[in-house]
């Protein structure tokens, strides 16, 4: 029950702070710190993400305007723009990366039984990346093109609950396919990827690790058909073949058999070709798995629109990665709270309610119930399908 705590303080109750302190200790985050701890820094950035603050001055002005409430928000240190800027520049961003992974672990446990539109017991991941453009003169470390900077956020999204299970932040020049080298393949799990991830040597490594992949094939693929299965063309299937690569280089990298499925989308008429190393699932299920990959596109669109990961509070690599990982942890925490409280609203609506109520001393469940009763949801963007439970 709420005992007069602010909404911001209630959200903190869902943070495993003992594990946060372990992350801080692991990287010596509070070494030689006198007043403004790593927790103070994290809570300030958490507040900024939650309330859409535009700059460091914006953050500190809003917090200092509520000076008498800071202690009860968990912020003990003295707040100043220069102090927060220095903390973002110097404190190891891996503290917030590790803490985000702690929250991700808890969230995946909660959402492990969620449905994602395909009847499948195994874990299904979607792998993709999104590019965040930066000004090269301000972010010279973020190499992308000759006169343009960028960072890439490579994400492996667990489609049960749309929780990111793996995130890597790199400069814009790192090709997507290189991220396959850093994935720990889970036997029996499915990895859904676009054709930018076609590298037969890496796919063979995934096959050797007993992981299943579904990837969109390229039009210039050289192969030999070995067997064809009957398909129902009324549901869009065109062929279901067992193939072997015929190109000398590709055959050397992937010597085993592959499954090739051609599918025509009944809505658009567009033809898709999928490659997979799974020969057990129905061809229609394979096509449905690739269609579910769209969830990661919606995830990228959502976090870019509703979290502060496009405009940054600092220009160093450390400051940028700190802000991105803080944004990810806020996303996961809001999903955690929503699930734990069994809230029947979209994540977008929940975040909007929280953003204007952080200082209110009202129970979150009561706050959401009152808001739902007086302000019916009118936001109809397709993103809502990603989070509606």
DSSP 110-165: HTTT---SS--SS-EEEEEEEEEEE-TTT-TTSEEETTEEEEEEEEEEETTTTEEE
The CATH number of the domain where 184 resides is what?
Answer: 3.90.350.10
One domain, residues 62 and 122: no
Query: Residue 145's pLDDT is what?
Result: 85
Q: Quick check: is 105 in a domain?
A: no
One domain, residues 159 and 48: no
Is the CB of residue 303 less than 8 Å from the CB of residue 165? no
Query: Residue 322's pLDDT is what?
Result: 95
Q: Quick check: is 309 in a domain?
A: no
Is the CB of residue 159 less than 8 Å from the CB of residue 124? yes
Which portions of the chain are predicted below pLDDT 50?
Answer: 1-2, 374-384, 386-389
The Cα–Cα gap between 42 and 35 comes to 14
The Cα–Cα gap between 308 and 327 comes to 7
Give the residue carrying structure tokens 């992308």. Answer: 144
Both tokens of 156, joined, read 């492996």
One domain, residues 84 and 134: no
Query: Residue 3's pLDDT is what?
Result: 58
Of 297, 323, 344, the one marking the end of a domain is: 297
Buried/exposed 198-210: b ≥16 CB within 10 Å, e otherwise: bbbebbbbbbeee
One domain, residues 344 and 290: no
Q: Please write the tens of the pLDDT for every residue from 144-157.
A: 888 889 999 999 99
Is the CB of residue 64 less than 8 Å from the CB of residue 103? no
Owning domain of residue 122: 114-297
* Residue 256 to residues 153, 246, 250, 277, 314, Cα–Cα distance (Å): 32, 11, 11, 9, 49
The Cα–Cα gap between 85 and 60 comes to 11
Q: Quick check: is 106 in a domain?
A: no
Residues with Cβ within 8 Å of residue 133, at least 6 apart in sequence: 144, 148, 149, 150
**pTM of the predicted structure, to 2 decimals:** 0.86
Give the residue carrying structure tokens 């394979």. Answer: 286
Query: Residue 384's pLDDT is what?
Result: 46
Query: Residue 74's pLDDT is what?
Result: 85
Give the phi and the psi of residue 357 in degrees, each rounded to 5.
Answer: -130, 15
Q: Quick check: is 1 in a domain?
A: no
Tally of domains within the chain? 2
Nearest to 95 by CA among 6, 26, 179: 26
Q: Quick check: is 104 in a domain?
A: no
Beta-carbon count within 10 A of 271 CB: 12
One domain, residues 282 and 340: no
In residues, how long is the chain? 389
Residues with Cβ within 8 Å of residue 2, at least 6 apart in sequence: 10, 361, 362, 363, 364, 366
One domain, residues 44 and 152: no
């Amino acid at each position: 029950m709420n005992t007069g705590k602010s909404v911001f303080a209630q959200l903190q109750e869902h943070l495993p702070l003992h594990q946060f302190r372990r992350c801080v200790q692991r990287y010596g985050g509070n070494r030689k710190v006198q007043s403004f701890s790593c927790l103070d820094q994290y809570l300030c950035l958490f507040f900024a993400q939650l309330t859409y603050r535009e700059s460091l001055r914006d953050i500190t002005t809003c917090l200092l305007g509520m000076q008498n409430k800071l202690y009860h928000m968990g912020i003990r240190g003295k707040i100043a723009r220069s102090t927060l800027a220095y903390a973002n520049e110097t404190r190891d961003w891996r503290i917030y990366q590790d803490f985000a992974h702690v929250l991700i672990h808890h969230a995946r446990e909660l959402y492990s039984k969620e449905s994602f539109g395909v009847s499948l017991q195994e874990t299904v991941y979607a792998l993709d990346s999104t590019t965040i453009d930066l000004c090269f003169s301000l972010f010279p470390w973020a190499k992308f093109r000759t006169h343009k900077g960028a960072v890439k956020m490579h994400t492996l999204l667990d489609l049960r609950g749309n929780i990111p299970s793996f995130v890597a932040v790199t400069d814009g020049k790192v090709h997507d396919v290189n991220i396959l080298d850093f994935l720990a393949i889970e036997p029996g799990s499915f990895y859904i990827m676009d054709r930018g991830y076609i590298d037969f040597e890496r796919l063979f490594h995934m096959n050797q690790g007993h992981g299943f992949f579904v990837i969109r094939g390229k039009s210039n693929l050289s192969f030999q058909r070995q067997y064809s299965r009957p398909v129902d063309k009324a549901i869009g299937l065109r062929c279901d073949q067992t193939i072997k690569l015929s190109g000398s280089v590709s055959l050397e990298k992937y010597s085993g058999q592959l499954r090739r499925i051609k599918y025509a989308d009944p809505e658009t008429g567009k033809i898709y070709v999928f490659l997979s190393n799974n020969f057990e699932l129905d061809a229609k299920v394979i096509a449905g798995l690739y269609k579910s990959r769209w969830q990661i596109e919606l995830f990228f669109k959502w976090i870019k629109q509703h979290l502060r990961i496009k405009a940054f509070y600092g220009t160093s690599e450390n400051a940028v990665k700190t802000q991105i990982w803080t944004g990810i942890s806020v996303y996961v925490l809001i999903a955690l709270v929503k699930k734990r409280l069994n809230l029947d609203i979209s994540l977008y609506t929940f975040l909007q309610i929280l953003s204007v109520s952080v200082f209110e001393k009202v129970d979150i469940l009561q706050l959401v119930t009152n808001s739902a009763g007086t302000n019916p949801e009118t936001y109809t963007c397709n993103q809502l399908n990603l989070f509606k439970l």
